């Protein structure tokens, strides 16, 4: 198997810690190693480094080389000249793997997830090759059984059991659903028929490229233009010429929602996609008033707050509730937990005001 790690995003919902030059996947949000390094090391014992590709944006080349240079062969760090979302990234990855090794199983992983235990994750991925051998034309995703009615995740409605592979049930995917309102999330949770959409996929290279050809012909044409230059000294110039013109679209929306043979297996591991600052409540110990704090942060007479202090800067909260306060050396945000998803809108507003030094 090959692994494709998608690390090209800007992580705007984690501003002001996540910046254009060093987004969240290259940072240690909860302590320990940076998230992208954790993602690579989670594959140890399952996929060798020479079969792991990491896709980054050109803005992050230097930090990626510094963090990942000792973990992967240089040719496995693929630099995208512009952000085009997951469909172009995965399409290019499939083209590279196919040219290097023929049609193979590839596992596509976001670079910013928190997953434990690692062995449970690897055990789930060990089903990938047998699933693909059973039905090489299907597209597979990993679903996570909800532990509460979350409004910040997408959902997958499972259908009938399509197969039993090495003790794992493989379900047909009946439909995908975007992030729901609370009442809908509660209905999904109560039904027991929905998974959280983990954003982790696997398939054979020829299967995903065929699906792209059917659903995204413009992307398919661009990949065909790039194919002759893959792994040559012309590749960087070809990417600079072709990649920015590819459609900016996610693999979920652009391909999976249109495909007719999509399958889901359940991942038996704890998972979080590190989407917004609210995730700290799930991974840090809370005090008796429900406050969580990371770094040099002290809540007083407050409840339900999330405080994050980068560096030596002190952050305090007095007499407030349900706030998120994040402070770095040059920027601070104060918002409510309910507005965590809208931090990206704030970043867009900073761009409008040409406050680029804070981005």
* pLDDT digit string (tens) for the chain, length 359 residues: 999 999 999 889 999 999 988 999 999 888 889 999 999 999 999 999 999 999 999 999 999 999 999 999 999 999 999 999 999 999 999 999 999 999 999 999 999 999 999 999 999 999 999 999 999 999 999 999 999 999 889 999 999 999 999 889 999 999 999 999 999 999 999 999 999 999 999 999 999 999 999 999 999 999 999 999 999 999 999 999 999 999 999 999 999 999 999 999 999 999 998 889 999 998 999 999 999 999 999 999 999 999 999 988 899 999 999 999 999 999 999 999 989 989 999 999 999 999 999 99
Task: Retrieve residue 338's tokens.
Answer: 């309910």
Distant-in-sequence, close-in-space partners of 355: CB < 8 Å, separation ≥ 6: none
Asked if the bond preceding 16 is cis, omega within 30° of 0, the reply is: yes
User: Could you write out the DSSP letters of every residue in 264-287?
Assistant: EEE--SEEE---SGGGHHHHS---
pLDDT on residue 312: 87
pLDDT on residue 311: 83
Three-state DSSP class for residue 175: strand
Dihedral sign computed on CA atoms, order 161, 153, 270, 91: positive
pLDDT on residue 30: 86
Which residues are bridge partners to 299 per DSSP?
317
Three-state DSSP class for residue 46: coil
pLDDT on residue 341: 87
pLDDT on residue 253: 94
Which pairs count as long-range contacts for 132-136, CB under 8 Å and 24+ apart, including other chains? 132/105, 132/202, 132/203, 132/204, 132/207, 134/163, 134/165, 134/170, 135/162, 135/163, 135/261, 135/263, 136/204, 136/206, 136/207
Which is nearest to 63 in space by CA: 101, 19, 107?
A: 19
pLDDT on residue 32: 87
Q: What is the DSSP letter of 253?
A: I
**Would you kindly state where each structural domain of the chain is located, as residue ranges?**
2-275, 278-358
Task: Retrieve residue 310's tokens.
Answer: 């980068």
Which is nearest to 341 in space by CA: 289, 295, 276, 288?
A: 276
Span 284-322, pLDDT tens digits: 999 999 999 999 999 999 999 999 999 888 999 999 999
CATH code for residues 2-275: 3.90.550.10
Give the largest CA-CA distance in the chain.
64
């Amino acid at each position: 198997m090959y692994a494709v790690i998608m690390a090209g995003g800007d992580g705007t919902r984690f501003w002001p810690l996540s910046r254009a030059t060093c987004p969240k996947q290259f940072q240690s949000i909860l302590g320990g190693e940076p998230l992208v390094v954790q993602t690579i090391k989670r594959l140890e014992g399952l996929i060798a480094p020479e079969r792991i590709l990491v896709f980054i944006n050109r803005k992050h080349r230097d930090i990626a080389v510094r963090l990942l240079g000792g973990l992967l062969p240089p040719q496995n760090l693929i630099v995208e000249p512009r952000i085009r979302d997951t469909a172009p990234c995965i399409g290019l990855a499939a083209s590279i793997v196919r040219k290097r090794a023929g049609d193979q199983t590839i596992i596509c992983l976001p670079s910013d997830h928190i997953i434990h235990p690692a062995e449970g994750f690897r055990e789930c991925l060990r089903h990938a090759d047998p699933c693909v051998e059973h039905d090489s034309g299907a597209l597979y995703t990993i679903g996570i059984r909800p532990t509460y009615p979350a409004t910040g995740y997408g959902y997958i409605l499972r259908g009938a059991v399509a197969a039993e592979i090495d003790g794992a049930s493989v379900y047909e995917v009946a439909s995908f659903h975007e992030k729901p309102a609370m009442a809908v999330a509660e209905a999904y949770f109560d039904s027991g028929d929905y998974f959280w959409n983990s954003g982790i996929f696997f398939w054979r290279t020829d299967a995903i490229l065929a699906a792209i050809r059917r659903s995204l012909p413009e992307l398919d044409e661009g990949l065909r233009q790039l194919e002759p230059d893959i792994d040559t000294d012309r590749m960087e110039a070809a990417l600079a010429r072709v990649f920015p013109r590819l459609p900016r679209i996610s693999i979920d929306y652009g391909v999976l929602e249109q495909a007719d043979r999509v399958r889901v297996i359940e991942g038996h591991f704890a998972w979080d996609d590190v989407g917004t600052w609210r995730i700290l409540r799930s991974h840090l110990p809370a005090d008796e008033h429900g406050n969580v704090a990371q770094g040099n942060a002290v809540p007083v007479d407050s409840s339900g707050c999330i405080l994050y202090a980068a560096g030596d800067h002190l952050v305090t909260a007095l007499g407030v509730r349900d706030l998120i306060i994040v402070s770095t050396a040059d920027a601070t945000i104060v918002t409510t937990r309910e507005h965590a998803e809208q931090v990206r809108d704030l970043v867009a507003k900073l761009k409008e005001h040409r406050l680029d030094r804070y981005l």
